[in-house]
Amino acid sequence: MVRIMSMMWVTCCAALLLVCHGGFAAGEEAATGESLLREAREPAMVDWLLGVRRTLHEHPELKWEEEQTSALIRRELDRMGVAYEYPVAKHGVVAVIGSPDGPVVALRADMDALPIQEAGEWEHKSKVPGKMHACGHDIHVTMLLGAAKLLHEHRHLLQGTVRLLFQPAEEGGAGAGVMIEDGALGAAQAIFGFHVDPSSPVGSVKSKPGPLLAGSSSWEVEVTAQGGHAAFPNRTADPILTTSSLILSLQQLVSRECDPLDTAVISVTAVDGGAGLNVIPSSVTMKGTMRTFNAMTATRLQRRMKEIVVQQSAALGCTGAVHINRVRPSYPPVVNDEASYQHARKVAAEMLGEENVTLSIPAMYAEDFSMYLGKIPGAFLMVGVGNSSPRSDLHSPYFVADEDILPIGAALHTSIALSYLRAAAASLDKLSTA
């Protein structure tokens, strides 16, 4: 208990110093945000970053299948001379840079792709049919590898340890939870992560303290009946008709039963049932997601969904059942720690300009980075990768990103970690001399 209380006190003091002071001490000019960005933009560094990102983009791997991605990460870390832990959460990698003494901070990148056929045409499009990095995780990995290179080159300035988490299975696999179970956080006192944002220009950063991204849960509905001949619908109940009615009813849950000032989304994303033109099927399955920032709202909506499905199906002669989170695990909301957010915001503003760091509007995306934030303080930032494509949205087959973000992200990761450790170490020194 004494040790836990001490670590909490150290973390609080470090957070206070981060908000009040931040940055680097005089004499460390070689590791300012500005100088790190210059290093990251050196031609050789940029060429390397582009090569890594394009290789990853050409060879996407789905959740829990990231074998080649993991091998590339470990190969690059070996070339740098950076130590790492592997395997963590199957294909995950945790690089460790710095001194075994002092505070610990974590940086995270997810590395899985999506089951999407890339529709855009460019030289380095996906070479794997039906798979694509449509959420920018290839960029996340590349930026964090770039940070590993910069941190290793400036390891003499590290006043503690940086743990770099290369995580599998963010897209529906809750890989963050498995990373945590496997000890990926170690003794980290804070964690920071980025996500690309195609709606914002390169060189801009958005985030906010408190709730940033929604929590999500998955659901699956099964509607069953006897089935029969399509010429005689009067002789059997119709699960397709019942499912159609259920879809309309579920959409009314948010509009008619949620507080207008609350935020919630129920989306039906898949319906499967029937095969013959003249056959009323015996079952129909539909799937979807529910998203909200409020746990009580989520619980109430899940309860009402079960009531509607069971009772309305029965009224139409069918049997209805609801399975929550059978398709994928639930994700809590992403809630940024105030002090951690202020630290990251200050570092980003010093590097990119105050005008390029703005408050984000909470969004209904879900992210398993929230699981780390449930364990230790931290902050999640949206970094701009905007371009001229009007269809360049996340999870789109036309997703594209401006690769100028690569050196920016590498330098920003590095500066956030270096300055965090400096402030945390200073708080430890004050405690030891008090």
Distance CA 150, CA 80 (A): 10
Residue whose C-alpha is closest to residue 424's, from 207, 218, 188, 217: 188
Distance CA 142, CA 294 (A): 34
Q: How far is CA 129 from CA 60, 117, 118, 170, in A?
A: 10, 6, 8, 21
Note the helical H segments in 81-228: 137-153, 175-181
Distance CA 301, CA 57 (A): 38
Phi then psi for residue 99, to 5 deg, are -90, 145
Q: How far is CA 126 from CA 117, 170, 186, 397, 408, in A?
A: 8, 19, 35, 11, 24
Distance CA 37, CA 414 (A): 9
Beta strands (DSSP E) in 247-356 are: 264-272, 279-280, 283-292, 319-324, 334-336
Cα Rg of the chain (Å, integer): 24
Residue whose C-alpha is closest to residue 373's, from 134, 176, 196, 217: 176
Q: Which two tokens stand for residue 1?
A: 């208990």
Q: What is the DSSP letter of 31?
A: G
Distance CA 168, CA 109 (A): 9
Say how far residue 276 (Cα) sits from the centre of its chain: 41
195 is in an annotated binding site: yes
Place of tokens 């999640």: 380
Total residue length of the chain: 434
Place of tokens 């609350």: 262
Residue whose C-alpha is closest to residue 159's, from 398, 427, 433: 427
91 is in an annotated binding site: no
Detail the residues annotated as belonging to a binding site: 135, 137, 171, 195, 395
Q: Binding site residues for Mn(2+), as ranges?
A: 135, 137, 171, 195, 395
